[in-house]
Amino acid sequence: MASVAVGGVIFLERSALMFSRLPHRAAAPLFALCCLSSLLAGCATGPKAFPLQESFGSTETYSRLFDASAGQTCEAARRALLSQGYIVTTSRADLVEGQKSFQPEADSNLQMSIRVVCAPESGNGKLSLGFVTALQDTYALKKSNNSASLGVGAIGSVSLPFSSSNDSMVRVASETISNASFYDRFFDLVSRYLATEKSPS
């Protein structure tokens, strides 16, 4: 079965034959619709492409070397989080996790989650690496009002302005903090607690 290329769209002769058998007034709109559908299908685009977010650059933003064992580093990190009002949800010799909530506006809420992983860096265990990641989730107030209905005889049901509010906080954004100075301040605080622990009583 032969085919003819017109404007980048392949039309089969059988299709042309089918249109020719229809009345002229009916065939023309159908043929135009077929051409338009084929062209639109060829112009369809895929999902939106975002630029590459990860560069695997400096390792000093999220990690720091400490002159202490992994257990001592994680203990200092736990105290650092507690000193800033964080609720510690996990505390182990190699892992500490904490959360803290902020409310910058009446209808918005921020939740900061900080995760600290402590790993030995020397064979004798006297050096360790602390890896820190902070995640900030943003929540916004979502309002949903339910109108009350009242049955009125022959009129049927009438919606009244009385409503019950089912407001809830919905997460609208989530972002890993990449600000180097944020982590510098945290690591400085951990270092101060390590120095306090090592100082002679």
CATH number at residue 68: 3.30.310
Q: Which domain holds residue 174?
A: 63-146+166-198
Banded pLDDT at 74 (limits 50, 70, 90): very high
How many helices (H) and strands (E) in the chain? Answer: 4, 10
The pLDDT value recorded for residue 29 is 55
Higher confidence at residue 27 or residue 115?
115
6: in domain: no
Question: Comparing 32 with 50, which gets the higher pLDDT?
Answer: 50
Answer with the residue of higher pLDDT: 175 or 25.
Answer: 175
Residue 76 lies in a domain: yes
The answer to the question of residue 194 being in a domain is: yes
State whether residue 74 is helix, strand or coil: helix
- pLDDT for 10: 44
Query: Would you say residue 117 lies in a domain?
Result: yes
Residue 58, pLDDT score: 72
Q: Please say if the pLDDT value at position 54 is more than 50.
A: yes
Has residue 95 been placed in a domain? yes
Residue 39 lies in a domain: no
44 is a domain residue: no
Number of domains in the chain: 1
Closest CA to 134 of 193, 67, 84: 84
Burial of 112: CB neighbours in 10 Å, binned 0-12, 13-18, 19+: middle
12 in any annotated domain = no
Residues 6+ apart with CB under 8 A from 118: 70, 71, 73, 74, 77, 93, 94, 95, 96, 128, 129, 130, 131
Q: What is the CA radius of gyration of the chain?
A: 32
d(CA 70, CA 79): 14
Measured in whole angstroms, the distance separating CA 92 from the mean position of its chain's CA atoms is 27
Average pLDDT of the residues in 138-151: 72
pLDDT at 191: 97
pLDDT of residue 68: 96
pLDDT above 70 covers what percent of the chain? 65
